[in-house]
Structure 1
Amino acid sequence: MKALILSDLHSNIKALEAILHEETDCDVIYCAGDFVDVGPCPNEIIEFSIKNKIKAVLGNHDQKIIDYYFNEMNSNSIIPEERLWYQHNASIIDKSNLDYLNQLPNTLTFELDGILYGMIHMYINYDVILGPFAYQKFINDNFEGNSKIERLIFGHTHRQGVCYVDGKKMWLNPGSIAYRTYLEPDDKSRMAEYMTISNGDIEFKKCNYDYESAAKDIINCVGQVSIKDIQRSYERIITEDNFDQKMLSVKTN
């Protein structure tokens, strides 16, 4: 069996379509959350996910859009640049697609080729994977003590990675299909990141997509989303021509 593992889609439909074009032989698709926010196409992402029967968990940005939609978030506590993205996605998302996000579980357990996996969007620490005791405690706290879980899949950091914890136990992060930001200055790639698992073998992959078309979609959000935040989040594919005149253009290399 071949599984496609995604995370942090962030309303980037162009990248998602490119990955599915590359990985046509997948039997099942999983996503570690963050379908929406910080991107122009929340409806398209969710509808694509429903159509392709993607099995998923809820991400923190998914929850933020839900909260913002139902006015359950204190907008004054959010920095203006982030608030504008929330406003954009929450204002255009269909109620049926919001309902899809709202029913996603926080955790997921599944078996592939005799190996038991756990999936959750965020780990307790952004940068450090702790030792075997903390690993098992995390499973006990979040997966009802399912001690047979051998591999934990996370998202959130937008960084591909694997960490062997103890014996067969490991932590896995497929990376983000959407973007690398100013928070990751050492990562110069603008490719969509993902992971496949075939017969228990893990492979980290990257895929080019139509950056120009994606960038134009993002630029068209101007007016609802700030110029600064667009360029900050998508600096790998958009360059700033003239900030004073609010002009952005697509990077060609």
Structure 2
Amino acid sequence: MIATIYDVHGNLRALEAVLAEIPDDATIVVGGDVCTGGEQPSETLERLRGLGDRVVWVRGNVDRELMRGEPGLAPADFLDATRAKLTDEQIGFLHALPPTVQIERTLYCHASPRNDLDIFTECTPEPAIAFLFEDVDADVVVCGHTHTQFERTVAGRRVVNSGSVGAPYEDEPGAYWTLDLEHRRTPYDGATLTMSREDAVAQFTERGL
């Protein structure tokens, strides 16, 4: 049994709600962007590190961008606010995580198998993104990054976006994740939406994504 939790973004309350629903014998794939943006980045990271060997880590773009000098998308003030709450050891830990992990015939990445910045949605035309998946030796690819849950087929592979635990772009508040590739939503006290799903997809589409 494998649970996937992506884009927690320092939202410890959302993380705790999801962890309470994950079976004790499940492996937990943490798909990147663990700390930035939320009020408790250090506590969120240490909560996950405290789970030990149950966790399989994948690095997200802002996990990488926390190391100064890395190229990326996140604004400097956004990164600086998180750096101020993390130790150098914690930043180094995040930076050293692998960009992809494969378990049997499923590949876990943050944005796409190619890099941690690619953006696509369920509406992106397949010809525009097929090249991202054609060389992947896996039947299933699990990703996050866009903060919207969806599932589609690209280049003959099943592609599952896990959604965002801590900052979802969806229609209902909650923490979004998967269990054995099945989409889940966990309500919790204080849950809010960072952006509606419709607005998020519209913004991505306007950018040609």
Give TM-score, length-normalised by structure 2: 0.77
User: Residue 160 of structure 2 aligns with which residue?
Assistant: 172
Decide which of 65, 74, 84 is 2:77's aligned counterpart: 84
User: Residue 58 of structure 1 aligns with which residue?
Assistant: 59
Gaps of 5+ in 1: 216-232, 237-253
Fraction of identical pairs, as percent: 22
SS at 1:4 equivalent: strand
- Aligned partners of 1:146 and 1:156: how far apart in 2? 19
98-107 or 158-167, which moves further after superposition? Answer: 158-167
Q: Which has the larger radius of gyration?
A: 1
* Cα-to-partner distance string for 1:63-88 (whole Å, 9 max, x where unaligned): 22222xxxx269xx989xx4332121
Q: Is contact 2:119-2:146 (8 Å) kept?
A: no
1:126 aligns with 2:120: yes
Q: Over aligned residue pairs, what C-alpha RMSD do you find?
A: 2.8
Aligned counterparts, 1:1-253, within 5 A: 2-53=1-52, 54-67=55-68, 72=69, 82-111=75-104, 116-123=105-112, 124-127=118-121, 128=124, 130=126, 135=130, 137-139=131-133, 145=135, 147=137, 149-165=138-154, 169-180=157-168, 184=169, 187-197=170-180, 202-211=181-190, 234=194
- Aligned partners of 1:20 and 1:92: how far apart in 2? 23
Q: Is contact 1:155-1:175 (8 Å) kept?
A: yes
Task: For 2:176, give the aligned amino acid.
Answer: E
SS at 1:108 equivalent: strand
Moved over 6 A (4+): none
Q: Give the structure with the larger helix fraction.
A: 1
Task: For 2:19, give the aligned amino acid.
Answer: L
How many angstroms does 1:22 deviate by? 1.5
- Aligned partners of 2:15 and 2:45: how far apart in 1? 11
How many angstroms does 1:3 deviate by? 0.8
- Aligned partners of 2:101 and 2:125: how far apart in 1? 20
Q: Is contact 2:5-2:178 (8 Å) kept?
A: yes
SS at 2:10 equivalent: coil
Task: For 2:148, give the aligned amino acid.
Answer: R
SS at 2:153 equivalent: strand
Task: For 2:30, give the aligned amino acid.
Answer: C
Aligned residues: 187
SS at 2:141 equivalent: strand
* Cα-to-partner distance string for 1:36-58 (whole Å, 9 max, x where unaligned): 21111111121112111321211
- Aligned partners of 2:171 and 2:158: how far apart in 1? 26
How many angstroms does 1:155 deviate by? 0.6
